[in-house]
Amino acid sequence: MPSSRHADVTVIGLGPMGRALAAAFLAAGVRTTVWNRTPGKDRDLVAAGAVVAATADEAVAASPLTVVCLVNYDATDSVLRQAPVTAALKGRTVVNLSADIPDRARDTGRWAAEHGVDYLDGAIMTPTTSIGTPAGVFLFSGPEALYGEHRAVLAALGGTHTHLGEEISRAAAYDIALLDIFWTSMAGYVHALAVARAEGISPTELAPFAQGIGAILPPLFQELAEDVESGTYSGEGNPITSGISTMAHVVHASEAHGIEANVMRAIEGLARRTVALGHGTEGYSRVAEVLGRR
Ligand SMILES: NC(=O)c1ccc[n+]([C@@H]2O[C@H](COP(=O)([O-])OP(=O)(O)OC[C@H]3O[C@@H](n4cnc5c(N)ncnc54)[C@H](OP(=O)(O)O)[C@@H]3O)[C@@H](O)[C@H]2O)c1
What mean pLDDT do residues 218-232 have? Answer: 95
25 phi and psi, to 5 degrees? -60, -45
Q: Which of 17, 85, 175, 180 to mutate to test the pocket of ligand 1 (most atoms within 8 A of CB)?
A: 17
| Residue 294: pLDDT band with limits 50, 70, 90 | confident
99-125-61-44 Cα dihedral, nearest 10 degrees? 110
Does the pLDDT value for residue 2 go beyond 90?
no
pLDDT at residue 7 in the model: 77
**Ligand 1: nearest atom to the Cα of 17:** 16
Average pLDDT over every residue of 191-212: 98
Residue nearest to atom 33 of ligand 1 (CA): 75
| For ligand 1, mutation pick of 19, 42, 68, 70 (most atoms within 8 Å of CB) | 70
For ligand 1, atom 20, name the residue with the nearest CA. 71
pLDDT at residue 4, as a whole number: 45
Please report the atom of ligand 1 found closest to the CA of residue 125.
Answer: 6
CATH numbers and ranges of domains, the chain: 5-165 (3.40.50.720), 202-291 (1.10.1040.10)
pLDDT attached to residue 1: 43
Please tell me what DSSP assigns to residue 267.
Answer: H
The string of pLDDT tens digits covering residues 80-123 is: 999 999 999 999 999 999 999 999 999 999 999 999 999 999 99
Q: How far is the CA of 43 from the centre of ligand 1 (A)?
A: 17
Residue pLDDT, tens place only, 137-154:
999 999 999 999 999 999
The phi-psi region of residue 77 (left if phi > 0; otherwise alpha if psi is between -120 and 50; otherwise beta) is alpha
Q: What confidence score (pLDDT) does residue 3 get?
A: 43
Residue 28's φ and ψ, nearest 5 degrees, are: -90, 0
Give the containing element (helix H, strand E) for 32.
strand 31-35
pTM equals 0.94
Burial of 282 (0-12, 13-18, 19+ CB in 10 A): buried
Is the per-residue pLDDT at 293 higher than 90?
Answer: no
Question: How high is the pLDDT of residue 116?
Answer: 98
Of the pLDDT bands very low, low, confident and very high (cuts 50, 70, 90), residue 237 is confident
What is the model's pLDDT at position 5? 45
Q: How many A from CA of 141 to the centre of ligand 1?
A: 20
